[in-house]
Amino acid sequence: MAVLVGPHTKVLCQGMTGRAATFHCGRMLSYGTRLVGGVVPGKGGARHLDLPLFNDVRTAVAETGANATMVFVPPDNAAAAIIEAIDAELELIVCVTERIPVLDMVRVRQALAGTRTKLIGPNSQGIMVPGVTQLGVMSMVDATPGRIGIASRSASLTSEIVLQTTRAGLGQSTTIGVGGDPVHGVDLKTCVELFLEDPDTDGIIVIGEIGGTEEEEAAELIAALKPKKPIVALVAGRHAPAERRMGHAGAFASSSGDGTALSKIAALQAAGVVIAPNAARVGETMRQALSA
């Protein structure tokens, strides 16, 4: 059983005719993702990648039976596209768009409240169940079916850890990129909860970084539940300078010590999480944790 997506997932793409969306939708179709149509206002009735286009999400859902969507819409209109998908009662939204204004994302979070919709992103590489489906821009090259759930704030480290778990003979049950923006949807804590409930996930890898409190919140959950499944974490940015953004908009540690890698590592260790010594040893650390 996969987390959040699976063979049943029927996917729309908002902004499908753009260059990036066209490229990645082609990749997803080749991988087996059940992409059923696109939403591009003003282009309803046309076809793209041999799939139907619709003017709005609600019509697309009614015509295709879609239960998920991807947002490849530019930053100035991305929040409106997400809210349109929420109003259409889609179960899952994956937003890859970067640089959405923070205030726009606050409005998105308000729109999500009380709904059944789960948002992954923005600024996310997406979600993947190896050999089944992939929504977003995540690399599929090194992924292989397995029983390790991966939740990550970093796209590049996700690719590295997917490769390591494949080489360790573990594979992945589901890989989720929560996104690098300070205000987003599904967080690391939620991913941990989902993986703990999944009978086909035997171990969990959390890839964190400086900024925010997601890792600490996940640590609080883990400390309270005391799960039997091994959890391994890597927190990037131990040597990052304070008061400076490091790549992601959300990767920011204050000079007061809040949001630092060391504070996050301490919280996770106190909760019983195994900390990987460096980025090159995450897969091996998980293999050892499973055999302990």
Q: Which of 8, 24, 239, 248 is catalytic?
A: 248
Q: Angle at the Cα of 177 (from 169 to 118), degrees rounded to 5?
A: 120
CA distances (Å), origin 55, targets 14, 45, 59, 60, 69: 10, 8, 7, 8, 14
Annotated active-site residue 24? The verdict is: no
**Pairing of β 203-209 and β 172-177:** unpaired
What token pair was written down for 52? Answer: 């139907």
CA distances (Å), origin 263, targets 49, 89, 176, 184, 209: 47, 38, 23, 22, 11
Amino acid at 127: I
- Which residue, 123, 50, 27, 135, is CA-closest to 38? 50
> What distance in Å separates the CA atoms of residue 128 and residue 228, rounded to the nearest whole number?
24
> What distance in Å separates the CA atoms of residue 235 and residue 209, rounded to the nearest whole number?
5
> What distance in Å separates the CA atoms of residue 128 and residue 136, rounded to the nearest whole number?
8
> What distance in Å separates the CA atoms of residue 30 and residue 241, rounded to the nearest whole number?
42
> What distance in Å separates the CA atoms of residue 126 and residue 136, rounded to the nearest whole number?
4
Question: Helix 282-291 vs helix 155-167: angle between axes, to the nearest 10 degrees?
Answer: 50
- The residues annotated with a catalytic role in the active site are 248
